Structure 1
Amino acid sequence: MQTELGCALPPASRHAITFHLPQWSSLVPFIEKDQVGALNSGYPHMLWHDDVKDVINTREGQTAFIFTSSVSAAECKEYGTAADRGKENMLSPEDISIRVFDVKGEIRLYVVIFPESKLPILHPFWQVSGRGISSRLAEECLKNIETLREITEGSTSPIPTVKESEAHSKIRDRIAKLLERAPIGAPRRVKVAPEDVYLFPSGTAAIYSVHRHLLEARCSNPALFGFAFHNTLQIFDFFQPGYKLFGRGTDDELVDLEEFLEAQKEEGENGQAIWAEFPSNPLLTAPQLNRLRELADKYGSLLIVDDTIGGFCNVDLLSDGADMIITSLTRAFSGHADVMGASVVLNPASHRYSELKDIFNRHFVNDYYTLDAIAMEKNSRDYLARSAILNANSLALVKFLDTKAKDPNSTVRQVDYPTTSSSVVNYTAYMRPGASDFKPGYGYVFTVEFESIEATQAFYDNLDTHKGPHIGAHLTIALPYVRFWYSGQLEWVEKFGMRETQVRISPGLEDTGELVEVFKAAVMAADEIEMPK
């Protein structure tokens, strides 16, 4: 492994979104935010791209966030000045201003300017909402910076918008066809159309936007069934702290969920939405979607499912399933770790379809930058072919590690993957039938757990793969997920089966046999630490 600390996966393009943390000792400074500035590349919500920094370039003592939506800029200001977090965690209205600029007469920028000392207060909005400008948009602004002009209040200049490009259309058409490809049961009478697919700049932007729209439509607390990706939890924490988490997503918690929905009903509220991942990140459990569907119908809730890890190719969540599917296209759909994006798909067979369509007609604005869409469209052309390899490599590694978990002389404690979970029946119930062009599998993420922190560290340090917070790339990536995201909340997350002795793995497109050998060597190092010869 030649990639240096803080650098992106090769070929490490200008717009790469990964960074490498080669050793366990590398984690601590980044967890404690002491060396974030040392990253040469980074996930855009965690680290500003150099081009974004150059566009911001405010005067000393000031900094800014840049959005392409006036709504996002206003929500950022609203977040920063909200009094409910206490005076020490808010800005005064005088501290924050919004200025508007055009570049080339084609790009409208809404710039939220505030004191640099207040960045820790506002940074969560940038990180969690996912609405900030992309590196490609920033690069285009820098190339045309001489055309920058401020739009003053009362200006009659028309507002530039992101026009629907050929790339946008191709992506939406591709997703619609993938969702209708090899459905469970007979071909659906009502099929997803490209007009039912909405594109967003990132997965967090999609989740944040849907959540905000639903809060406006029906201001009641949503339920999150099963644990979810770190940013999803943050969105609910920051923007509706009254949400209810059923973090294990077990059959027993279905009873608790019904009690929660019943209590809402007694208070005169219809449930806003039941959210779930299929399968969950990072423990890969699959909920009983049919039961969630029954509860949603009984209590007037929407059922919203994030299928990012299961994927369009493997699972069909529209048949007797979700009202809405959210997918981070940044992951396996793109597959090259160099562009962000997400989709929200409305199920045309849902009895809530007209209501949801009306919400999106009123609120949705296309701000998925065209050059990002072009990159995403190109990357996703071989989605099925890549997914077949990702599925096969994941299953092969899981089989190897599962044999170690069953060996009393190994430090491998267990492997979390749909095939090793008691919830596998819930997953297989929604697997697409095999077809000539693709055989469905169990996804491209699994988690391996060790008996001790020492064994976990030895495995990580000796695992000759890339390491960092990303999944679905062309190369294998490992991350001590709990250690990285929840180092200050270990006792809390352990209630949901998550421990710092777990390492999340996202296999890439490498040769299967070579990958297994790489993992054998790392497990051997862990075993030797725990039980020296």
Structure 2
Amino acid sequence: MTQTIEIKALDTATFHAVPPAPGHNGQHSITTHMPGWDMMLEFTKKQPEFFAKFVDMYPRFIPHKDIKKLTGAVLKHLKAEGQFCLFFPRYEVAVACINFVTAEKRTDGLDSVPKDVMSIRAFEFQSRVHAVFFPMDKMRLVMPFWTFAGVGISSRLGVECLENMNLLKELSDVTVAPKDSDSTSHQLLRQRIANLLERAPAGPPRKEKISKDDVYLYQTGMAAIYYIHNLLGKWKNNSNSKTVMFGLPFHQTIHVFEYWGPGVRFLPLGTEIDELQSFLKSEAAAGTPVQAVWTEFQSNPLLVSSDLKKLRELADQYKFALVVDDTIGSFANVDVLGVADLVVTSLTKSFSGYADVMGGSAAVSPSSRIYLELKPLLEKDYHDDLFSGDAEIFLKNSEDYLSRTTILNNNAAALVKWLHDLTKDPKSSVKRVYYPTVSPTLENYNVYKRATTTDFTPGYGCLFSIELDSVEATIAFYNNLHVHHGPHLGAHRTLALPYVKALYIDELEKVKPMGLEETQLRISVGLEDTDELIETFKYALTFSDAAGKEN
């Protein structure tokens, strides 16, 4: 006899973080809980009054509360009334911020900030940081750099600075370099990533194995994308060489390609091979060969697996760099190192798994035909800006990466199977489910799924999307789906988000040809009991099914 599980609304306070896992410090949480459809609609309006209510939030969207405290303490110490500042790890990053927001014609379409109201100041606590100062009323115009580039300091570095305010000293030379952050934790973290990238490879063993020296760390996943994209712009030495985004990426990734560089060709379905080939051919004929093709494996949020084998063939033919972001597939499950020139990963997600630290990595494949071209560029331009305290947390969190991934894989697969079966029931409000196991691109994924070992059976990741049969049903389902509501994926708790409605609210008709619908919800499963999760979804479906009948 199946035990009935009582479904209760969560007791997590609105605008507060998902409760931390046992043994983890919630101070550095990178999540927030925004329960209900109406709350999400308020979020899309981007009103300062609404954002001021957040106690916790993803720190690229809104600076972490400890960064805010540091800002307040420094401004008070300097008696800088009417000013605000953003903290960066190096002078060069602060300069990049000013250059972006003061450009005569900003690539993000916002008004330029006058250069004479902005300044850079360098401070030393225990660590060295650089701050960009500007009038408080210009914050809306400066924050996009923090959000999209993802290169601000972390909350743990902010706390270290706060704890050492008594040591605060302003440096006369604002160009002074930071102290070396390449700690033992950084070296161990690089080695762990390298080991995982070579673990149980898909296909034949590679002649050249990746080493820790081929792995580069960044303070966020977006920072890894930002820096690698800019690096590839220098590689071609052609200021007109564009980037291609093949398949749907995380919403802000495409903006990095639009805001920095000569432009991007966006092929959102991830299946437009013929169109890609035509574009590559025309750009090469025009003397502006494409510098890079990026793809997420799988795509976000529709979980399409692009044909990496074909992309590799085109990369060899047209001499571009193939960059694969394996964040959603996760390198526990998929091995793309043998086909990609560069593998970019948001370590913030399932690698960390506990939603309390941010970071990213980029790995250059020693098997790549352009390895000897890319490696010197990376060595010349790279700076390890990942705070040592964050590297230590990544090491701790990732100790159970494989065992956690097993639970995430199993929970997602079970929910997807159950929901997909409902799509065959005409009485159900479930219209479609998006996940590799029910995707027409499944075979593309399976080619790069890692081999099974005695300690781990690879799967298909923690993320899926569900599409309901009407907006009314979607709202009813979401409002009664008693999991946490908010951005992020790969956490220890399940998170739901009306991803399309939240991020494309003003472009809903424009994105429909991409397969995106406002009736879709993105789900990142957590480590909860599988039966409990199914009962939670079943409960929500009673409301969406009823909403469908009423209409």
TM over 0.5, yes or no? yes
CA distance in 2, matches of 1:424, 1:53: 45
5 Å matches for 1:149-228? 149-153=169-173, 159-218=177-236, 219=239, 220-228=241-249
Between 1:326-335 and 1:260-269, the stretch displaced more is: 260-269
Secondary structure, aligned partner of 1:520:
helix
Q: Who is 1:354 aligned against?
A: 372
Report whether the alignment pairs 1:373 with 2:391: yes
Between 1:324-333 and 1:144-153, the stretch displaced more is: 144-153
Q: Who is 2:331 aligned against?
A: 312
Secondary structure, aligned partner of 2:363:
strand
Deviations 1:212-266 (A, max 9, x none): 112233231100000100120121122136210001111xx11111111111111
Q: Who is 1:236 aligned against?
A: 257
User: CA contact under 8 A between 1:179 and 1:312: conserved in structure 2?
Assistant: yes
Q: Cα offset for 1:531?
A: 1.1
User: CA contact under 8 A between 2:121 and 2:174: conserved in structure 1?
Assistant: no
Q: Who is 1:454 aligned against?
A: 472
Against the structure 1 CA distance between its residues 129 and 532, is the aligned structure 2 distance closer, same or farther, given a 3 Å change threshold? same
Report whether the alignment pairs 1:278 with 2:293: no
Report whether the alignment pairs 1:18 with 2:36: no
User: CA contact under 8 A between 1:176 and 1:197: conserved in structure 2?
Assistant: yes
Deviations 1:252-308 (A, max 9, x none): x11111111111111112220000000001000000001111111111100000000
Secondary structure, aligned partner of 1:399:
helix
User: CA contact under 8 A between 1:103 and 1:144: conserved in structure 2?
Assistant: yes
| Residue 70 (structure 1) aligned to one of 81, 85, 91 | 91
Q: Who is 1:145 aligned against?
A: 165
Between 1:217-226 and 1:77-86, the stretch displaced more is: 77-86
User: CA contact under 8 A between 1:162 and 1:370: conserved in structure 2?
Assistant: no
Q: Who is 1:43 aligned against?
A: 58
| Residue 521 (structure 1) aligned to one of 531, 535, 539 | 539
Secondary structure, aligned partner of 2:445:
helix
Q: Who is 2:81 aligned against?
A: 60
Which residue identity is paired with 1:56?
T
User: CA contact under 8 A between 1:162 and 1:369: conserved in structure 2?
Assistant: no
Which residue identity is paired with 1:367?
D
Q: Who is 2:520 aligned against?
A: 502
CA distance in 2, matches of 1:343, 1:160: 20
| Residue 5 (structure 1) aligned to one of 6, 11, 14 | 14
Q: Cα offset for 1:469?
A: 0.4
CA distance in 1, matches of 2:511, 2:388: 39
Which residue identity is paired with 1:527?
D
Q: Cα offset for 1:359?
A: 0.9
| Residue 121 (structure 2) aligned to one of 99, 106, 109 | 99
Deviations 1:341-370 (A, max 9, x none): 111001010111111111111100111000
4+ residue runs of structure 1 moved beyond 3 angstroms? Answer: none
Deviations 1:433-470 (A, max 9, x none): 11101001011100000111110011101111111001
User: CA contact under 8 A between 1:161 and 1:367: conserved in structure 2?
Assistant: no
CA distance in 2, matches of 1:512, 1:468: 21
Q: Cα offset for 1:96?
A: 1.0
Between 1:217-226 and 1:15-24, the stretch displaced more is: 217-226
Against the structure 1 CA distance between its residues 288 and 410, is the aligned structure 2 distance closer, same or farther, given a 3 Å change threshold? same
Against the structure 1 CA distance between its residues 88 and 262, is the aligned structure 2 distance closer, same or farther, given a 3 Å change threshold? closer
Q: Who is 1:249 aligned against?
A: 270
Structure 1 unaligned regions, length at least 5: none
Q: Cα offset for 1:153?
A: 3.3
CA distance in 1, matches of 2:114, 2:178: 31
Secondary structure, aligned partner of 2:85:
strand
Deviations 1:116-164 (A, max 9, x none): 2111211110100101111111110010011111111389xx7332432
Report whether the alignment pairs 1:260 with 2:269: no
Deviations 1:448-499 (A, max 9, x none): 0011111001110111111100100001110000111111111122120011
Q: Who is 2:46 aligned against?
A: 33
Against the structure 1 CA distance between its residues 88 and 291, is the aligned structure 2 distance closer, same or farther, given a 3 Å change threshold? closer
User: CA contact under 8 A between 2:246 and 2:270: conserved in structure 1?
Assistant: yes
User: CA contact under 8 A between 2:221 and 2:345: conserved in structure 1?
Assistant: yes
Which residue identity is paired with 2:141?
I
CA distance in 1, matches of 2:171, 2:317: 50
Q: Who is 2:447 aligned against?
A: 429
CA distance in 1, matches of 2:497, 2:173: 48
Which residue identity is paired with 1:139?
V
Report whether the alignment pairs 1:337 with 2:337: no
Secondary structure, aligned partner of 1:85:
coil
User: CA contact under 8 A between 1:446 and 1:505: conserved in structure 2?
Assistant: yes
Which residue identity is paired with 2:40?
L
CA distance in 2, matches of 1:160, 1:69: 6
User: CA contact under 8 A between 2:181 and 2:386: conserved in structure 1?
Assistant: no
CA distance in 2, matches of 1:228, 1:498: 12
User: CA contact under 8 A between 1:18 and 1:42: conserved in structure 2?
Assistant: yes
Report whether the alignment pairs 1:392 with 2:410: yes
User: CA contact under 8 A between 2:242 and 2:289: conserved in structure 1?
Assistant: no
Which residue identity is paired with 1:264?
E
Report whether the alignment pairs 1:129 with 2:142: no
User: CA contact under 8 A between 2:291 and 2:321: conserved in structure 1?
Assistant: yes
Between 1:89-98 and 1:53-62, the stretch displaced more is: 53-62
User: CA contact under 8 A between 2:412 and 2:462: conserved in structure 1?
Assistant: yes
CA distance in 1, matches of 2:543, 2:221: 36
CA distance in 1, matches of 2:235, 2:389: 33
Q: TM-score, normalised by structure 2?
A: 0.93
CA distance in 1, matches of 2:178, 2:225: 25
Against the structure 1 CA distance between its residues 409 and 372, is the aligned structure 2 distance closer, same or farther, given a 3 Å change threshold? same
Q: TM-score, normalised by structure 1?
A: 0.96
Which residue identity is paired with 1:2?
D
Secondary structure, aligned partner of 2:312:
helix
Q: Who is 2:7 aligned against?
A: none
Q: Cα offset for 1:88?
A: 6.7
Which residue identity is paired with 2:320?
S
Which residue identity is paired with 2:42?
P
Against the structure 1 CA distance between its residues 508 and 274, is the aligned structure 2 distance closer, same or farther, given a 3 Å change threshold? same
Which residue identity is paired with 2:34?
L
